[in-house]
Amino acid sequence: MKPSPISATVDFDKDGVQHGFLRLPYSRDDSAWGSVMIPITVARNGKGPTALLTGANHGDEYEGPVALMDLAYRIDPAKLSGRVIIVPAMNYPAFRAATRTSPIDRGNMNRSFPGRPDGTVTEKIADYFERILAPMADLVVDIHAGGKTLDFLPFACIHHLPDKALEKRCRAALRAFSAPYSVMLLEIDSVGMFDNSVEAQGRIFLSTELGGGGSSSARSNAIAKRGLSNVLIHAGILKGEVETSLSIMLDMPDGDCFTFSEHDGLFEICADLGAEVKQGDLLAKIWPVDRTGVAPVDYHAKRDGILTARHFPGLIKSGDCMLVIAVREG
Ligand SMILES: [Zn+2]
């Protein structure tokens, strides 16, 4: 395999705090020998485990960048045993453009793994995480939210894994994060995800969906900040006590948890996130956008559970993910 074209301006083996960049050469019209400069912080104090903390894997999700900018700014190596690597915006070009995918190559970072050292900009970044950063880490926390088109109940999540011993360690990290909800997430499109790449390397992987709509809130930012510090304490990297609170454990047993729109139109949501719903309950209507006097199309709950995610914009298209229901674990 070719070496990565990305070079780090930080030394991963040095004690103390360093703020620098992952520099990826990117020749373009406005900068012939230019680079993409991805901010990174490394904080280390002696031997111990390594945590890799990432945000803006999708460029329009903000709790990760907010909580990680804050952590990078105030992290004190004297309180650490081990190493914390912080990348607030993995898909940095997408983050700067406030879009889910990269404006350079339309690359969706979380569908680009394992990446390629000789691929697109997005694939080169993915490859660096796959071959350089993830192997350094004992655990990875990747903070997501719904972006501009989805809104979620605030949850942290892990996956059912074939390696049950690893799943158990992931579950302990999930409990330590202590988001208001904890979900065993069923992925509908898992090829190329960072999640699988880290899990396949036998590392603890924790993700989140903490809100959405293309911004963040005081509440969702606080959940991200507390969750990250809880996980670092749980891993033995940061001194302190894990601050847990009630977290409702949810599972997603099958594809009936998802409802996709089969119509274009004006979206009327009929239940809010967190609502306990019964199979058959009216959850949404889609009205025509071009005339009055026509009945809407009704969408009903396919199963009992808790409304966990919803389409966010006021208009909807056929194929959009409209509703997600998860069920209490038990
Ligand atoms: Zn995301």
Distance 32 CA to ligand 1 centre (A): 31
Q: How far apart are CA 207 and CA 110, in angstroms?
A: 12
Q: Please give the pLDDT value at position 68.
A: 98
Q: Is the pLDDT of residue 190 over 90?
A: no
Domain locations in the chain as residue ranges:
7-251, 255-328
Q: Is the pLDDT of residue 252 over 80?
A: yes
Please return the burial class of 189, using the count of CB atoms within 10 Å of its CB with bins 0-12, 13-18 and 19+.
exposed
Convert 68-106 to b/e letters by CB count within 10 Å (16 or more is b): bbebbeebebeebbbbbbbbbbbbbbbbeeebbbbebee
Distance 128 CA to ligand 1 centre (A): 19
Distance 16 CA to ligand 1 centre (A): 31
Distance 62 CA to ligand 1 centre (A): 10
What value does the mean pLDDT take over residues 222-250?
97
Q: How far apart are CA 53 and CA 330, in angstroms?
A: 30
pTM for the complete prediction?
A: 0.97
Q: Is the pLDDT of residue 248 over 80?
A: yes
- Structure confidence at residue 326 as a pLDDT band (50, 70, 90): very high
Mean pLDDT (the chain) is 97
**By C-alpha distance, which of 249, 295, 232 is closest to 268?**
295
What value does the mean pLDDT take over residues 241-248?
95
Distance 44 CA to ligand 1 centre (A): 28
Distance 160 CA to ligand 1 centre (A): 19
- Structure confidence at residue 187 as a pLDDT band (50, 70, 90): confident
Distance 59 CA to ligand 1 centre (A): 8
Distance 309 CA to ligand 1 centre (A): 13
- Structure confidence at residue 211 as a pLDDT band (50, 70, 90): very high
Q: Please give the pLDDT value at position 258.
A: 97
Distance 168 CA to ligand 1 centre (A): 24
- Structure confidence at residue 189 as a pLDDT band (50, 70, 90): confident
pLDDT exceeding 90 applies to what percent of the chain? 98
Distance 238 CA to ligand 1 centre (A): 26
Distance 226 CA to ligand 1 centre (A): 19
The residues near 118 (Cβ < 8 Å, ≥ 6 apart) are 2, 124
Q: Please give the pLDDT value at position 268.
A: 98
Ligand 1 is an ion; residues with CB less than 5 A from it: 58, 61, 144
Q: Kindly report the CATH class assigned to 255-328.
A: mainly beta
Q: How far apart are CA 202 and CA 46, in angstroms?
A: 23
pLDDT tens sequence across 30-89: 999 999 999 999 999 999 999 999 999 999 999 999 999 999 999 999 999 999 999 999
Distance 301 CA to ligand 1 centre (A): 24
Q: For residue 266, list its beta bridge partners.
A: 287, 315
Distance 186 CA to ligand 1 centre (A): 14
CATH number for the domain running over 7-251: 3.40.630.10
Whether 286 contacts 267, CB under 8 Å: yes
Amino acid at 5: P
Q: Please give the pLDDT value at position 1.
A: 83
Token pair, residue 276, equals 């306990």
Q: Please give the pLDDT value at position 330.
A: 74
pLDDT tens sequence across 292-322: 999 999 999 999 999 999 999 999 999 999 9
